[in-house]
């Protein structure tokens, strides 16, 4: 089954959700702002994405600057803790299928999972 880490206020996330519905494959929606990931789940997601924590970090959010996350010397652990405290710092939408995941920007990246 597919899982989409979704933010309903994000147009890209809504676009991917619509594409999933069109594909007719079963999927579950996780509104990660209301159902935040725990540290283990976030670390697993990073492995599935094959990304560093910084690569999953949204750098246009106000919290990015206010939390000092623009400091390139910050460790992965510090960045992960920031994303756990402020889930909107996590790039979206993320779609997981089995042991693989993609940031579906653009939405067509979703097709890489099949």
Pairing relationship of beta strands 2-6 and 94-97 according to DSSP bridges: antiparallel
Q: How far apart are CA 31 and CA 73, in angstroms?
A: 30
By the 10 Å C-beta count (0-12 exposed, 13-18 middle, 19+ buried), 31 is classed as: middle
Contacts of 61 (CB under 8 A, 6+ apart): 86, 88, 89
**Active-site choice (3, 10, 33, 113):** 10
Q: How far apart are CA 74 and CA 68, in angstroms?
A: 9
Check if 10 is active-site.
yes
Annotated active-site positions, please? Answer: 10
């Amino acid at each position: 089954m597919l899982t989409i880490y979704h933010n309903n206020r994000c147009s890209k996330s809504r676009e991917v959700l619509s594409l999933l519905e069109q594909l007719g494959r079963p999927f579950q929606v996780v509104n990660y702002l209301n159902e935040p990931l725990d540290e283990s789940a976030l670390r697993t997601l990073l492995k599935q994405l094959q990304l560093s924590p910084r690569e999953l970090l949204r750098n246009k959010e106000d919290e990015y600057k206010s939390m000092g996350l623009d400091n390139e010397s910050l460790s992965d652990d510090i960045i992960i803790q920031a994303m756990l405290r402020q889930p909107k710092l996590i790039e979206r939408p993320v779609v997981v299928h089995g042991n693989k995941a993609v940031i579906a920007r653009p939405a067509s990246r979703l097709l890489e999972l099949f």
